[in-house]
Amino acid sequence: MLFDLTDLRLFVATAELGNLTRAAERQHLSLAAASARIKALETQAGLQLLQREARGVRLLPPGEAFLHHARLVLHQTEQLRADLLEYGGGLRGHLRVFANTTAVTDFLPEILPGFLANNPRINVDLQEKPNAQIPRGVLDGRADIGIVAGRVDTLGLEAIHFSTDRLVLATSRKHRFARRRSIAFAETLDEDAIGMQQGSTLQTFLAQITDNLGKRQKLRIQLGSFDAMCRMIGSGVGIGVVPESAARRNQDSMQLALIDLSDAWCVRERYLLVRDRAALPIYAQALVETLCRNYADEARTLGQPDSPQVARKT
């Protein structure tokens, strides 16, 4: 099937407006021309996509599927246009990364400056997404690389293990939990808590845990970074669950006590998701190697075994 971009834009507009006349006006087409284009689309598809009604049109199930793919094609076309403009200005590569909250706020800000300095003609479009949405973005081609943690349906993508982190409970050193060596998350739910902003990967994950427990965190404030959380926790405003890497970075300066969580879910394996590592552009492969090498070096420095790079389809 061969589709014209004008036809795809017309179809998307018709679906969004629920009205062919208004969609034709938006696309600067006559109603007759717009109607003919929609009918031609349906002929090519071999299916009726829209139901004509007295007050407009509505999508049929095949039309819903067509709309999904039409939007993807148009999005990729616009991205191609933008990329080519950048290439015309001397850019050699544009790398799109979907990552969870921990990656965006904690470790990528430390790793990306060196990568960008070593690759001055590469741009990185880094977007924070919930863990569950990241594999779909990679599979659909909206991202070249995804970074996730914990148990995630990777939709058959190649998953490269590059590090392991652990969630811990952070408190001020004056808090009654400060002398505990370990604690179950359920025991903490009666305490005032500091959380990440709503919609962040970690806060969404903890909300699922608390829902299963039939309780909620007593959130006093929600913030946009782990460092800000640690500052609030250290001042005694509340307690919080944070990645161990962020907690240890702030432990001395913020006067934090770190308590191990006894829950099995506190150990979070981190994976890079790609459609096919061997088929990645060289600059994308370079970022994958940079991340894996960084954590291998860190593990050796700490006297730990290297983090295994396990590529698998799941």
pLDDT one-digit tens code per residue, 26-74: 999 999 999 999 999 999 888 999 998 888 899 999 999 999 989 888 8
Closest CA to 173 of 247, 236, 232, 253: 236
Q: Compute CA 289 distance to the chain's CA centroid, rounded to the nearest angstrom.
A: 20
Predicted confidence band at 310 (pLDDT cuts at 50, 70, 90)? Answer: very low
The tokens 């699922």 sit on which residue? 208
What is the mean predicted confidence (pLDDT) over 270-278? 93
Cβ-based neighbour number of residue 49 at 10 Å? 22
* 279 & 301 share domain: yes
Distance between CA atoms of residues 178 and 175, nearest Å: 5
Which domain does 70 fall in, by range? 5-86
Residue 288 has pLDDT above 70, yes or no: yes
Split at pLDDT 50, 70, 90, the class of 311 is: very low
User: What pLDDT sits at residue 279?
Assistant: 85
- How many other β-carbons are positioned within 10 Å of the β-carbon of residue 36? 12
Instruction: For residue range 94-105, list pLDDT tens digits in order.
Output: 899 999 988 998
**pLDDT of 314:** 45
Phi, psi of 58 (to 5 degrees): -135, 150
* pLDDT of 89: 54
Are residues 296 and 188 part of one domain?
yes
Calculate the alpha carbon distances from 312 to 85, 144, 145, 269 in Å. Answer: 36, 17, 15, 14
Residue 82 and residue 98 share a domain = no
Residues 240 and 260 in one domain: yes
What pLDDT does 281 receive? Answer: 83
d(CA 20, CA 56): 7
Strand-pairing partners, residue 194, are 221
Pair (25, 162) in one structural domain: no
Domain containing residue 254: CATH number = 3.40.190.290
Q: What is the pTM of this model?
A: 0.63
Q: How confident is the model at residue 302 (pLDDT cuts 50, 70, 90)?
A: very low
User: What would the mean pLDDT of 113-124 be, rounded to a whole number?
Assistant: 89
> Mean pLDDT lowest for which of 151-155, 225-229, 257-261?
151-155
Which helix (H) or strand (E) is 294 found in, with range? helix 282-301
Is residue 265 over pLDDT 50? yes
Do 118 and 14 belong to one domain? no
Q: Which residues of 125-150 are buried (b: 16+ CB within 10 A; e: fewer)?
A: ebebbbbebbbbbbbeebbbbbbbbb
For residue 156, the model assigns a pLDDT of: 92
Residue 199: the pLDDT is 82
Q: What is the CATH number of the domain that holds 82?
A: 1.10.10.10
Q: What is the pLDDT of residue 85?
A: 64
At 86, the pLDDT band (50, 70, 90 cuts) reads: low
Among 86, 101, 126, identify where a domain stops.
Answer: 86
Percent helix, strand, coil in the chain (nearest 5)? 45, 25, 30
Q: What's residue 87's pLDDT?
A: 58
Q: Flag whether pLDDT at 77 surpasses 50.
A: yes
Confidence of residue 81 (pLDDT cuts 50, 70, 90): confident
CA distance 242 to 83: 37
pLDDT for position 93: 77
How many structural domains does the chain have?
2
Name the domain boundary from 50, 71, 86.
86
**201: burial class by Cβ within 10 Å (0-12, 13-18, 19+)?**
buried
Same domain, residue pair 59 and 127: no
Question: Pick the residue with more confidence: 79 or 210?
Answer: 210
User: Are 121 and 247 within one domain?
Assistant: yes
Q: Which residues contact 287 (CB under 8 A, 6 or more apart)?
A: 95, 97, 115, 124, 145
Query: Which among 65, 86, 107 is the end of a domain?
Result: 86
Mean pLDDT of 168-192: 96
Looking at the structure, do residues 72 and 16 belong to the same domain, yes or no?
yes
Averaged confidence pLDDT in the chain:
88
* Same-domain status, 79 and 99: no
Same domain, 232 and 259: yes
CA distances from 203 to 198, 199, 207 (A): 6, 7, 6
Dihedral sign of CA atoms 161, 162, 166, 170 in order: negative
Same domain assignment for residues 110 and 146: yes
Other Cβ atoms closer than 10 A to 257: 21
Is pLDDT above 60 for 312?
A: no
